[in-house]
Structure formats: C-alpha cells, structure tokens
Amino acid sequence: MKAEMRTEVIKLLDYSSKENKSNTIKPSHDIVFLNELVREYLDWMDVISECDLPKHCLDRKLLAQSLGVKDSGKSKNLPLLCGLVQTFTNLKNT
C-alpha cells in the first residue's frame, strides 16, 4: 500500500513538474555540472531511477578533470561528491 501511495505521489509531482518546466530558464553550466555530480551520487546509491533526470550524462572522467580531482583506486569506488566533501574537510582541518 505504501509503495502504491508513493507511486501516485511521484506521478502527481512528475506531472506538476512537467507543467512548470515549460516556464523554466535553461540552467547555467555550473548548475548542469552540479546536477551531474548529484546524478553520479544517486546512481552510486542506486536510487537514480526514482529521479526525473535527463537520459544523457557527463562522463566521470570529464567531471573529475573539470574539478581537478585525480581518481585513485580507492576513490573510483566512491562518488566524486564524497571526494569533494573529504577534500573540503581536510582543508578546514589544516
């Protein structure tokens, strides 16, 4: 029953957001970039199917390169957002 309610709410929100999208302004490069970082994180959490995101996505290597992040063996298993949070935490503590 909860799943059915959730599905109906998502449908209502999806319909509502599609109506509003016709009035929205094209997002800036920074917003698109941030959306891609969030998409990568949601994909890593395996919840991306529940989101209304465009079908195309940017390559992880391109995202990492644009951020100036080098993927190591360990970091490749985590979303780039985790690496950014860790970097800022390290900078704050120094």
Sequence-distant (6+) residues with CB within 8 A of 43 are 79
| 77 torsion bin: left (phi>0), alpha (psi -120 to 50), beta (else) | alpha
Q: Where do the domains of the chain lie, and which CATH numbers do they carry? A: 2-93 (1.20.960.40)
Better-scored residue on pLDDT, 80 or 13: 80
Tens-digit pLDDT profile for residues 20-68? 555 567 777 777 888 888 888 888 888 877 777 766 778 888 888 888 7
Give one word for 45, left, alpha or beta, with left for phi > 0 and alpha for psi -120 to 50. alpha
What pLDDT shows up at residue 65? 85
